[in-house]
Structures are given as structure tokens and as C-alpha cells.
Amino acid sequence: MNFDSKIYVAGHQGMVGSAIVRNLMARGYNNILLRTHDELDLTDQAKVKAFFATEKPDQVYLAAARVGGIYANNTFPAEFIYSNLMIQNNVIHQAYIYGVKKLLILGSSCIYPKNTPQPIPENALLTGALEETNEPYAIAKISGIKMCESYNRQYGVTRGVDYRSIMPTNLYGPGDNYHGLHSHVIPALIKRFHEAKKKQLKEVFVWGTGAQKREFLYVDDLASACIFIMNLDKELHSKFVKPSQSHINVGSGEEVTISDLAYKIAEIVQYNGDIKFDTSQPDGPSQKKIDSTKITELGWKSTVNLENGLKLAYKDYCSNLS
């Protein structure tokens, strides 16, 4: 671990990227390279090429992505697949061209089939059909994993390329997206209950039956896992992955029903009205939890439980209200 290494964090203004920057700085890394979207459009091949040619970073954390919840994935499928493929293709290829030996790409648990064993192991990838609502995004993320694997296989020995992939479970925390239609479940519920409290609404509706189970990971825990995997000894890392199955799951191991989650968030927000479940809306899969055995055996585990994480997320939400 060289604290003077030039480290490029792509997507540093997003929830994951900003958490990685926070964690790198807290650990003493002092040469972090950042570019806003206005400064560097990662879908523009020529601009990405010029950036890598000039800066020549030592490490790259690829956290840049177009992301969103079910509504956004359904409404903008073309933008999701195009933007994410272009970002990945440009960053990974130009990193290789300009001598970057270490790169870490962030994926998503939506890469796994719609119907798969629980908890989901890494080897479930490409064993079945994807969830239709986020298929374009998932295919782009799968392509990113396979692109890294392909560069490792072709250039690992000759060029010293060592590109790694991690697949986090559902994330939440500081920097989350609280858009009314485009957000994921935790930020959506935080916003809904906060506004209901402010308006003194007597009831809040939550989509589905509330019976479905989900796993959530606080984003700063993910950031620590990213840094852990990036700097893991290559020989040790190679014992837990295969050339054509190199991604590693990252989860909290903590599961909760959407119903319990809703009541927990309402309590933290101090909303005292009724919570009702709109059963006309779909639940999605009854359970979604990933198997984090590999990263646990490697020596990493999450440190922020759901209760504390939700309190921190709500505090962040309130601090950013205008």
C-alpha cells in the first residue's frame, strides 16, 4: 500500500465514489485524482483517452455509473445500457493502454438471475434469466466484469494487468439519491416519511405487501471493502477467484422485511401516522440476499448495522435539505 500512489476515483460525486474518497483520505492516501462530469464526460472516448494520457494514474476505482430504481430502469433502458457500457469500455480500455495495473470495478447484485438460490453465490452468474425491469443495467454490469476478466487473461502476465470486480448488495447512506421516482427503497422511504411528518399526514403507503426480504449495506462499509479488495495480495486474491469468475460479493449479512424496514425508518424519522401497504403494487422477489462467504474468509466484514446506518442516512438527508 503506497499512500503516494496516484488514485483516480471515477464517479467521486456519487454515493459510492464519494464514500471511497472519504475512506481513502481517512487512511492517509494523499494523491487522489478527481474529475466532475462537466470536467470529464466518461462516455466520450476521446476525452477519456486524453485524460489517461495526461494523468497516468496508478490505480482506478470505477464507481461511475448511471443508476436508479425500478421506475428509472423501466423508463430509461436505452440510456442505462448505453451510458454504462460506454463508461466501462472507455475507462477500462484507456486504463490498460496507459499502463494502469490495478483497477476495481463496482457492480450490482442485479447481475444475478431472477430465480437463484439464496443467499446468492458468485457462481450463480449467467445461470438464468435476469429480472426484466433492470436487465439493460445488469447486462452492462456483467459486461464490465467480463471485460476486466478478459484483460486479465490476455494481459495479466505480459502487462501485469490486475483488474478486480466486487458485487455489493443493496446500498444506502450519505450521498444517496432521494428523487421521488428514481430512488431505491431506503431513500424513498426516508423522504416519504420525512415529508409526511412535515405535512402531518395521517398515513403513508408503501408499495407491495411488505413481506419481501432484502439485505442492505451501508455505503462506507462498501468503500472499506473496495479498498480492502484493491490492496489484497494478488496470490491470496487468486485463491478465491477464477479467471472466468473473478467477482466477489460484498454484503452485510443482515436481512430485513420491507415491512420491518418501513416501521424502523418511520421510528427514526419520528413519523407517528399509520403505515399501509399497497398490495396492488408488485413485491418483486420474495428474498434477495448475497453470499458474502468469500470476502468474510478473506478477512473483511461490515461494521455498521442497519439501525445505526439508517440513523446516519437520515441525518445526512436532513443536512442536505434546502
Q: pLDDT tens-digit profile of 227-285?
A: 999 999 999 999 999 999 999 999 999 999 999 999 999 999 999 999 999 999 888 77
Annotated catalytic, 137? yes
Q: Are 269 and 195 in contact (CB under 8 A)?
A: no
Mean pLDDT of 59-73: 86
Of 29, 96, 137, 163, the active-site residue reads 137
Q: Is the pLDDT of residue 83 over 80?
A: yes
Question: In the prediction, which pLDDT does 177 show?
Answer: 85
Cβ-proximal residues to 203 (8 Å cutoff; 6+ apart), any chain: 273, 274, 275, 276
Q: Measured over all CA atoms, what is the biggest interatomic distance in the chain, rounded to whole angstroms?
A: 65
The separation between CA 231 and the C-alpha centre of its own chain, rounded to angstroms, equals 19
Q: What is the DSSP string of 21-90?
A: HHHHHHHT---EE---TTT--TT-HHHHHHHHHHH--SEEEE-------HHHHHH-HHHHHHHHHHHHHH
Question: In the prediction, which pLDDT does 76 show?
Answer: 85
Q: Which of 70-74, 103-107, 199-203 has the lowest mean pLDDT?
A: 70-74
Mean pLDDT of 69-75: 75
Taken in order 117, 150, 77, 187, the sign of the CA dihedral is positive
Arithmetic mean of pLDDT over the chain: 94
pLDDT category of residue 75 using cuts at 50, 70 and 90: confident
Looking at 98-200, list the stretches that DSSP marks H as alpha helix, in order from N- to C-terminal side.
135-159, 185-199
Mean pLDDT of 190-212: 95
Q: Is the pLDDT of residue 223 over 90?
A: yes
Q: Are 246 and 167 in contact (CB under 8 A)?
A: no
pTM passes above 0.85: yes
Angstrom distance (rounded) from CA 242 to CA 240? 7
Question: In the prediction, which pLDDT does 283 show?
Answer: 80
Q: Which of 37-41, 216-220, 277-281 has the lowest mean pLDDT?
A: 277-281
b/e map 274-291, b = 16+ CB within 10 Å: ebebeeeeeebeeebbbb
Strand 213-218 to 287-288 pairing: parallel
Angstrom distance (rounded) from CA 220 to CA 168? 12
Question: In the prediction, which pLDDT does 322 show?
Answer: 65
Q: Is the pLDDT of residue 226 over 80?
A: yes
Mean pLDDT of 170-191: 86
Cell numbers describing residue 292: 458474502
pLDDT category of residue 34 using cuts at 50, 70 and 90: very high
Cell numbers describing residue 230: 484493491
Q: Which CATH architecture has domain 7-175+216-252+290-304?
A: 3-Layer(aba) Sandwich (3.40)
Question: In the prediction, which pLDDT does 1 show?
Answer: 66
Residues found in the chain: 322
**What backbone phi and psi angles, to 5 degrees, belong to 133?**
-65, -30
163, β-bridge pairs: 103
**What backbone phi and psi angles, to 5 degrees, belong to 211?**
-85, -20
Q: pLDDT tens-digit profile of 275-296?
A: 999 999 888 778 899 999 999 9
* Cα atoms in the Cβ-side hemisphere of radius 13 Å centred on 185: 24
Q: Is the pLDDT of residue 167 over 80?
A: yes
Mean pLDDT of 300-315: 97
Mean pLDDT of 56-73: 88
Taken in order 311, 314, 316, 319, the sign of the CA dihedral is negative
Q: pLDDT tens-digit profile of 122-158?
A: 999 999 999 888 899 999 999 999 999 999 999 999 9
Q: Are 166 and 225 in contact (CB under 8 A)?
A: yes
Domain ranges of the chain: 7-175+216-252+290-304
DSSP 125: T
List strands edge to edge, sheet with 59-62: 32-33, 7-10, 59-62, 102-106, 162-168, 247-250
